[in-house]
Amino acid sequence: MNAIEVNGLRKEFKAYSSRSGLSGAFRDLFTRNYKIVPAVNDISFNVKQGEMVGYIGENGAGKSTTIKMLTGILTPTTGGIIVNGMNPHKERERFVQTIGVVFGQRSQLWWDIAVQESFRLLKKVYKVSDAHYNEHMDHVIKTLDIEPLLDKPVRKLSLGQRMRCELAAALIHNPPLLFLDEPTIGLDVLVKLKIREFLKEINEKYNTTILLTTHDLTDIEALCERVIMLDEGNIIYDGALKSLKEKWGEGKEISFEFLEKADLQHLEALTNDLEAKWELDEKDQIFTAVTGDDEEAVSQIIARTVAAYKVRDVKINEPSTEEIIRNIYEKGMA
Amino acid sequence: MDKYLEMIRIRFLMMLAYRTNYYTGILIYSINIGAYYFLWNAIYGGKSEIEGLSALQMTTYVAVAWMARAFYFNNIDREMAMEIKEGKVAVELIRPYNYLGMKTMQGLGEGIFRLFFFSVPGMLIVALIFPLEFSADFTTWVLFAVSIVLSFFINTQLNLLTGITTFFLYNNTGLIRAKRVLIDLFSGLLLPISFFPGWSQEIMKYLPFQGISYIPSMIFTNGFTGSQAMEGLLLQAAWVLILIIPVQVLWVIAKKQLIIQGG
Amino acid sequence: MFYVRMFFQYVAQYMKTRLEYRADLVVELFSDLLFQAVNLIFILVVFDHTEFLNGWSRDEIIFIYGFFLVPFALFSSFFNIWDFNERYIVKGEMDRILTRPIHSLFQVILERMELESLFGAVTGLAVMFYAGSRLNLEFNWYDPLLFVVLVLGGVLVYAGIFVMIACISFWADARTSIMPMMYNIGNYGRYPVDIYNKAIRFVLTWILPFAFVGVYPAAYFLGREEWYGYSYMTPVIGIVFFTLSVFIWNEGVKRYRGAGN
């Protein structure tokens, strides 16, 4: 069963450009230059129940706009959305009962009152019974380790503490679908790890579908098998994270640290019949050979180099997801 | 000086960007003045004059008082309160300008904008609908111009004062509102000061409020002429100078507090 | 039923927050009182210089003002949405509202309520009793009941107008400060509308029907029979305007653009 079905979804915004200078501003008072800008440009995709999907793209690529349409906040210009079997905007009040939303940049909790008061109020808002609440939330509170924070007002919490509480608040009604918009922005590594672990756990336990946008690709690597990549309102990649790497992760890097003094030209001469490009990090005296995915070439480079010099350390690196994605955006998908 | 002029220009542009504001503003001010016109006509009820003002002068008084308000009125106290609460004021303080001076200039930018694009056309529209009496005397216009500039400074200084209190009170929305209500009444916007009972006029002589609306409006309607007008201007100027003291004193204390509490 | 329960939940939360800042509460009550006093002073000063306002006596005008304060207090307590545009549209709080399973307008109302304004109703009743006793008004047994109905009608009129103004934010491209100015116009409903010319009377009756929050319903208790028709129409106008405003709100929400665009 599909949790999310998006078909030819499009959202246009009317933007007006200001004329420059004072006289331009006066003219704006009477007539304005309007421009129709599509923020999301006819996209289609499906997400199955229980999937964890990373939704990535640069700032302004249309991520937030899509999430806001999927959560019923914005009305699409054209196209169809079915989420949890409903049209988010048309049946908003019934629909939001079945989703949880966390906006990393915006608090869902009441600023001035204690966290548990916010929880209590949300519990009533989502019509959660005491029995359900106790069973489910006891566990959530324990796993996220927020027990000691419950009686503190939100404004007194640190960002990491607040984010954990936000996450708990979004799960009070144990929704089958969770939207996370930049949930780890500005958090330290320990909190990030805790949040990731928690997300994995609820995904396994309740088969919760999770759609995640983030700038931190390590989040995606840790959680998502599938990524959807957006550029200027269009989907430029939709598929497994692994095949993205295979397809775009060009080659390997082999770094050597030598015990004796090495010479870049000599190294280049050694491997001149192979596909290899040598680089030297002057500061650390690390020599790196960049090569393709040909395994024969990799082993040849290592064998010849080791034979020529005494080696202290050898590392084989694949390009990181971040590099791959930067590459895609810089060079384009074609 | 350049940076302050730039600030005025930026505010000007900001105001122009809000054009819905602009159109509805003129409409609503006109309705406002219209309603007051009829209210005052009913109050006069055929009397030729009350407290030395004819019904015609009174209408003009109301119209010019509201239009002048568009010039001197600003929300910098609310803005300051917001900036202080959100902790932005610490950033403002490390910038190379005088914060209070900058706020004043922002208010002036807004004021000048409203004067030319709001009050003047608004006044023309109102003058078409209702009988108003404009002075033909050039000196009256000059005195009025000086007077509303002074009233801008008095009002702005009072706004700065209420704005600064945010440092000490944290939440001062109530105070800001109370100040606005008091100014509307005691400045002579709603009623000329001369209408009040004698004892309260006596008290108001020692308060800065009548310098905000009463004096310029009386000058405009020729209620004050000659030496009376000059006295009024002197009184306004005196208040502008006097108010510098509490503003600066509170500001110095506030800055100390800011350093101790760390913004 | 759910909405009634939610209402009391929010009220309870509100009390808790409010009691944390008790000093604010005192200042706010004081500034409310000041605001009410200033308008009363205006009436008193004016009547120092005249006996009648188009045939209405000082005490009648004061009575109308007292009546006006009651629906106005209820309105201010529950429809404190004058900064809706800034708070919910510009800062994007509307996003959060729209992810919760309660009608969005109802949530905004619940979040923004300011119960201390209810105190104004007490002032209003006091002013009415003062003026009423000086006027030797006679009351029927059903008048208190009618009072409640007319007050509620007035609240709905005010609420309807201000919700509609808040809705402008869904369409307009920039912030507007119509809201504070509208409070001024609301004041004119407190004076007998027969002092105005036809255009303004028409506006105050049918376009921005503020007259139904002051002079029209109060005329009933003052025994001004020529206005009874308008008095009885108060709840009708209230329901019509409020329903219309909710309808416009629902349409507006569809056009919500979200923050940061």
pLDDT greater than 70 at residue B236: yes
Helix C228-254 to helix C143-171 angle (10° resolution) is 30
Residues in chain A closer than 8 A to B17 (CB atoms):
18, 25, 28
Per-residue pLDDT band for C86 (boundaries 50, 70, 90) equals confident
The number of C-alpha atoms within 13 Å of A199 and in the hemisphere containing its C-beta is 31
Q: How confident is the model at residue C175 (pLDDT cuts 50, 70, 90)?
A: low
How high is the ipTM of this complex?
A: 0.83
pLDDT digits (tens, 9 = 90+) for A171-180: 999 999 999 9
Question: Does the beta carbon of A22 lie under 8 angstroms from any beta carbon of chain B?
Answer: yes
Q: Is the pLDDT of residue B263 over 50?
A: no
Average pLDDT for A176-195: 89
Could you tell me which residues are beta bridge partners of residue A291?
A: A252, A276
Helix, strand or coil, per DSSP, at residue C108? helix
Pairwise CB contact (< 8 Å): C176 & B21: yes
Question: Under CATH, which architecture does the A2-10+40-246 domain have?
Answer: 3-Layer(aba) Sandwich (3.40)
Q: Dump pLDDT digits (tens) for C10-53.
A: 998 888 888 777 777 888 888 899 989 999 999 999 998 888 88
- pLDDT digit string, tens, across residues A241-289: 888 777 776 677 888 888 888 888 888 888 888 877 888 877 778 888 8
pTM: 0.83
Confidence of residue A334 (pLDDT cuts 50, 70, 90): very low
Of the two residues B169 and A98, the one the predictor is more confident about is: A98
Confidence bin at B17 (pLDDT 50/70/90): low
Helix residue spans in chain C (DSSP H): 2-20, 22-48, 58-78, 84, 93-98, 104-112, 119-135, 143-171, 178-186, 198-202, 215-221, 228-254
Residues 6+ apart with CB under 8 A from A49: A1, A2, A3, A176, A207, A209
Burial per residue of B178-207, b for 16 or more beta-carbon CB atoms within 10 angstroms, e otherwise: bbbbbbbbbbbbbbbbebbeeeeeeebeee
Give the C-side interface with A, CB within 8 Å. Answer: 2, 5-6, 9-10, 13, 16-17, 20, 92-96, 98-103, 173, 254-258, 260-261
Give the per-residue pLDDT at A197: 92
Of A180, A13, A205, the closest CA to residue A105 belongs to A180
Residue labelled with tokens 């109060």: C218
DSSP A152-181: SBGGGS-HHHHHHHHHHHHTTT--SEEEEE
∠ CA B130-B134-B137, rounded to 5°: 175
Helices (H) and strands (E) in chain A, counts: 12, 13
Cβ neighbourhood burial of B133 (10 Å; 0-12, 13-18, 19+):
middle
| d(C-alpha A212, C-alpha A170), whole Å | 14
pLDDT, chain A, mean: 86
Residue B19 has what pLDDT? Answer: 67
Question: Minimal CA–CA distance to B152: which of B236, B248, B246, B63?
Answer: B236
Average pLDDT over residues C145-174: 91
Asked whether the domain spanning A251-318 has the same topology as the one spanning A2-10+40-246, the reply is: no
Q: Which of A282-286, B214-218, B226-230 has the lowest mean pLDDT?
A: A282-286
Q: Which chain B residues have any C-beta within 8 angstroms of a chain A C-beta? A: 9, 12-13, 16-17, 19, 22
CB C89 within 8 A of CB C252: no
Read off the pLDDT band of A212 (50, 70, 90). Answer: very high
Q: Is residue C261's pLDDT more than 50?
A: no
Cross-strand partners of A280: A287
Q: What mean pLDDT is predicted for residues B152-175? A: 88
Three-state secondary-structure class, residue A12? strand
Domain locations along chain C: 2-254
DSSP, residue by residue, A254-299 = EEEEESS---HHHHHHHTTTSSEEEEEETTTTEEEEEE-S-HHHHH
Note the pLDDT of residue C142: 92
CATH topology for A251-318 is Alpha-Beta Plaits (3.30.70)
Chain C residues within an 8 Å CB radius of B183:
none
Look over chain C and give the mean of its residue pLDDT values, rounded to a whole number: 90
Distance between start and end Cα atoms, chain B: 28
Overall average pLDDT of the A39-51 stretch: 94
Distance in angstroms (rounded) separating the CA atoms of residues A258 and C58: 102
**pLDDT of res. A179:** 95
- Mean pLDDT over A9-24 rounds to 79
- Name the residue ranges covered by the structural domains of chain A: 2-10+40-246, 251-318
Distance CA A179, CA B151 (A): 54
What percentage of chain A has pLDDT greater than the value 90? 41
**How large is the average pLDDT for residues B234-259?**
91
- Matching residue, tokens 């966290």: A115
* Nearest chain A residue to C21, by CA: A112
Residue A167 or residue A32, greater confidence? A167
**Residue of B113 and A96 predicted with greater confidence:** A96
Compute the average pLDDT of residues C241-247: 97
Is residue A224 a contact partner of residue A214, using CB atoms and an 8 Å limit? no
Whether C181 sits inside 8 A of B32 (CB atoms) is yes
Provide, rounded to the nearest whole percent, the portion of chain C with pLDDT above 70: 97
**Residue C174 has what pLDDT?**
59
Nearest to A100 by CA among A81, A79, A135, A128: A128
pLDDT of residue C125: 96
